[in-house]
Amino acid sequence: MSQHLFLPLVMLAMCPTPGAFPDSGKVTELREDCGRPEPSARILGGSDAQPRSWPWQVSLHQGGGHVCGGSLIAPSWVLSAAHCFVTNGTLEPAAEWSVLLGMHSQDGPSDSAHLRAVAAILVPENYSSVELGADLALLRLASPARLGPAVRPVCLPRATHRFAPGTACWATGWGDVQEADPLPPPWVLQEVELRLLGEATCQCLYSRPGPFNLTFQLLPGMLCAGYPEGRRDTCQGDSGGPLVCEEGGRWFQAGITSFGFGCGRRNRPGVFTAVAPYETWIRDRVMGSEPGPAFPNQTQEPQLGPREPREENCTIALPECGKALQPGAWPWAVQVTVPGFRPCHGSLVSESWLLAPASCFLHSGTSDSGPSDLDAWRVLLPSQPHAERVARLVLHENASRDDAADLALLRLRAPVNLSAALRPVCLAHPEHYFLPGSRCRLARWGRAETAPGPSTQLEAELLSSWWCHCLYGRQGAPVPLAGDPPLVLCPAYREEEEAGRCWNNSGWTLVCREKGTWFLAGIRGFSGSCLRPRVFAPLQTHGPWISHVTRGAYLEDQLAWDWGPEGEITEPQTCPPHTEHGACGLRPEAAPTGVLWPWLAEIHVAGDRVCTGILVAPGWILAATHCILRPGSATVPYIEVYLGRAGASSVPQGHQVSRLVISIRLPRHLGLRPPLALLELSFRVEPSPSALPICLHPGGIPPGASCWVLGWKDPQDRVPVAAPVSILTPRLCHCLYQGILPPGTLCVLYAEGQDDRCEVTSAPPLLCQTEGGSWVLMGLAVRGSQELFAAISPEETWISQTVGEAHFLPPSGLPYWFPESGDLCPPDLAGASGFPGAAALFLLLLTPLIQGW
Ligand code: 4AZ
């Protein structure tokens, strides 16, 4: 039962002439006395039901605990919901269940409470799942219930019985009080008043897709009860229990609690199995039982209830959360000022409640009994000229111990009038998953040391947990399973104008957009370093606390969301090896933006040609000198570098990173022009799935590696292609290209039938994926060649000295080995260099014979 605090203070009309109830007796007497609770002084107005108010309510136990509700309809029969007993299409054995009657609190036995075994469970043949209807079940008790003031049957409606939309009825049960928030001890039976909704109204509400495009088709035999604004509802654990309506002094069971999208969500009223249509089904099954259930005639004409809106008009009662006219102009951004302190940034979460870090208030005269000076606190709301006052402060119980729970809720003295410029942010339910690729923004949170700058606009995209852990987590450590809910939210940022600013002077929230609606997804307090905030604590784990305190926060109104492939990961995954400078050579399987080669750079030289480059450290690109510097040119060209591109024309280029080159470094080479150049970028790039340094191989050929030449086929569209190749041993290479190769040249052989060659003027790189999973750079194409590459390993010292953070992996594999002379080559190959491909193939076929060379 959820939101039971909203129960109105009303006295139920009592039956006029309460008669003594027979413990056993004539069938007619019993039938007449269905649906009449003990007429003791029963006061409604709280969430806990009074004892004996709902004497037909039973608790169905399995494995020693309450699972579902039910209603006593005859001494030996209980009505409940089929879904309580059917698992994966199979009816559970009756012997596993027991029925507790005359219960008030699940805490301990009372005089009236007694237990019955279940002799049989009957479910309609056409029941398959709750959404498809027929969600009812009959339980035959092994022996009749002991009837008395706390145990009495309810009346059942005839098939012709009509319950008018708008009628106030009552649902009862021991179910959750919020989603994922079980009824607390002493587990007293809960009651909630629900209004019957007309079919069209209910369908209209459930047809409104909400953020996740989820709708539901109401079917005949279902009925809805609740409110468009939600808040009062049944919930998990109430299933099978009764929805009863009073008519002429008797309580008739109109519905059986069946399901709904979540609990208490707006536009998602509870769905019940309508009992009246099942009169025949019930009668047929209980036939012969004496006494059987009672189906009294309807004595009064159904009347239109007072609050039923026009059927086709189901305009939701509340304005929507999470809509912003433009990102950054957040209509929920609030500032709370406590005298003597800087303003604290928080978010409006309903008409009356704000969410902000508890740390803003922990040191401002707050005691357990609350702060002493709330009167002096002021709240500035967007587009409001006057400050508002605070009526109440509720600190999260773990606020001072756990950064992820650094939360406080503040109630305004008076609810605000919401508008397009002033509306709450949406809060996510615990099952809500912000999927990798979700678009997010940063927003200020808590007390800022400095005035907010334009970085409140910073855009980010959520990373998968694999990326998050391999990029930011402890490298090489096993990646934890995707949490449920995720343990962290991990954004990769888009480029910002003010690179290099320091981020440690403020806390931040991550607001993420789903279908045009912004959710407050994560929070992050002050960080100790200047780096942009990396990991956020997901806020949805606190959904139940926020709902519990506010009872009216604007939670999203949809439940199910497929977690997608990441949710199905069952085996821990391992990050590829890393270097002392962190992650390198990680490659996403399928990045949301389509960027698959995060180290591949387009180098635009002097505006007229494009070379391939490879990111080797956050501020450095390695490229082929011959492509960057044309012979004869004396000046250093103007060079721009782009990372995170998936082709010149591909849209969107969301995570493209661009930098200017501020210096070109060449190693000292006696006489010869060195093949490799290092380009220093104007400022560093943040590691992300679209810009991540590659690892560098320190020499030899990595054992068990798969290698590719990476580049683009067409220099105009520049869609990356990777041609699979084998790297020949230096001796084979030498034999094929006798005498013409500078030391340190790598030769490759393209896979047979491989036509996707990279065009050579851009000097494509040769790279391999090692057995450990990291991608390593081996070399860059020699001018004009598809098969020959200048290895990077001979330049390890120069590269490491120039770029302190270059990621050289530890040495492994076959050592480099330069032949002193060509005499060791088989004679047949000496003249084969004109056909290196064919000759190399021949050599490879001979490999077992020549491995000892
Ligand atoms: C359940 O899971 C359940 N708000 C019961 C009722 C509702 C939702 C879920 C309706 O048993």
For ligand 1, atom 11, name the residue with the nearest CA: 236
Q: Is 262 left (phi over 0), alpha (psi -120 to 50) or beta?
A: left
Q: Tell me the backbone φ, ψ of residue 345, rounded to 5 degrees.
A: -85, 135
Which residues sit opposite 66 in a β-bridge?
Answer: 61
Under 8 Å between Cβ of 268 and 205: yes
* Residue 206 CB–ligand 1 contact under 6 Å: no
Query: What is the per-residue pLDDT for 560?
Result: 40
Q: Among 128, 126, 145, which Cα is nearest to 79's?
A: 145
Of 2, 71, 135, 347, the catalytic one is: 135
Does residue 729 register a pLDDT over 60?
A: yes
Under 8 Å between Cβ of 173 and 257: yes
Residue 83: active-site member: yes
Å from CA of 765 to ligand 1 middle:
58
Pocket perturbation via mutation, ligand 1, pick of 68, 172, 238, 272 by most ligand atoms within 8 A of CB? 238
Residues shown for the chain = 853
Helix (H) or strand (E) holding 466: helix 465-471
Å from CA of 276 to ligand 1 middle:
21
DSSP states of 469-530? HHHTS-TTSEEPPPPSS-S-B-EEEPP-SSTT---TTSEEEEEEEETTEEEEEEEE---SSS
pTM reported for the whole predicted model: 0.68
* Residue 239 CB–ligand 1 contact under 6 Å: yes
Which of the four pLDDT bands, split at 50, 70 and 90, describes residue 501? low
Which of the four pLDDT bands, split at 50, 70 and 90, describes residue 752? confident
| Residues in CB range of 417: below 8 A, 6 or more apart | none
CA distance 485 to 307: 39
pLDDT digits (tens, 9 = 90+) for 274-301: 999 999 999 999 998 889 999 999 987 7
Query: What is the per-residue pLDDT for 267?
Result: 83
Residue 239: active-site member: yes
In the block, tokens 């790598």 appear at 746
CA distance 508 to 492: 15
> What Å distances lie between residue 763 and 623, 740, 768, CA to CA?
8, 19, 17
| Residues in CB range of 580: below 8 A, 6 or more apart | none
Tokens of 221: 């035999």
Under 8 Å between Cβ of 471 and 583: yes
Query: What is the per-residue pLDDT for 703?
Result: 78
Under 8 Å between Cβ of 609 and 626: no
Tokens of 720: 């990356």
Does residue 46 register a pLDDT over 50?
A: no
Q: Which atom of ligand 1 is nearest to the CA of 226?
A: 4
pLDDT digits (tens, 9 = 90+) for 131-171: 999 999 999 999 999 999 999 999 999 999 999 999 999 99
Does residue 483 register a pLDDT over 70?
A: no
Residue 697: active-site member: no
CA distance 656 to 688: 11
> What Å distances lie between residue 444 and 342, 344, 508, CA to CA?
13, 9, 5
pLDDT digits (tens, 9 = 90+) for 777-803: 999 999 999 999 999 999 999 999 999
The top-scoring range by mean pLDDT among 481-490, 632-641, 768-777 is 768-777
Helix (H) or strand (E) holding 281: helix 279-286
pLDDT digits (tens, 9 = 90+) for 547-601: 778 765 666 654 444 444 444 444 456 777 778 778 899 887 655 555 678 899 9
Q: What's the rounded mean pLDDT across residues 622-643?
A: 86
* Residue 135 CB–ligand 1 contact under 6 Å: no
Q: Among 616, 591, 590, 574, which Cα is nearest to 475's?
A: 574
DSSP states of 629-644? S-TT--SPPPEEEEES
Residue 469 CB neighbours (<10 A): 24
Tokens of 184: 């607390």
Å from CA of 45 to ligand 1 middle:
23
pLDDT digits (tens, 9 = 90+) for 514-537: 878 899 999 987 766 677 788 899
Listed range (374-383, 550-559, 577-586, 754-763) with the worst mean pLDDT: 550-559
* Residue 171 CB–ligand 1 contact under 6 Å: no
Does residue 241 register a pLDDT over 80?
A: yes
Our measurement of the distance from residue 55's CA atom to the centroid of its chain's CA atoms, rounded to an integer in Å, reads 42
pLDDT digits (tens, 9 = 90+) for 651-679: 555 567 889 999 999 998 766 778 999 99
CA distance 226 to 216: 16
Query: What is the per-residue pLDDT for 811?
Result: 80
Of 47, 239, 359, 690, the catalytic one is: 239
Q: Which residue type, as a one-letter code, is found at position 629?
A: L
pLDDT digits (tens, 9 = 90+) for 53-79: 999 999 999 999 999 999 999 999 999
Q: Which atom of ligand 1 is nearest to the CA of 239?
A: 11
More confident: 340 or 141? 141
Tokens of 619: 């501020």
For the chain, domains (ranges, CATH) are 3-19+46-286 (2.40.10.10), 333-412 (2.40.10.10), 427-541 (2.40.10.10), 600-846 (2.40.10.10)
CA distance 479 to 66: 37
CA angle (270, 68, 234) in 5-degree steps: 20
Under 8 Å between Cβ of 427 and 420: no
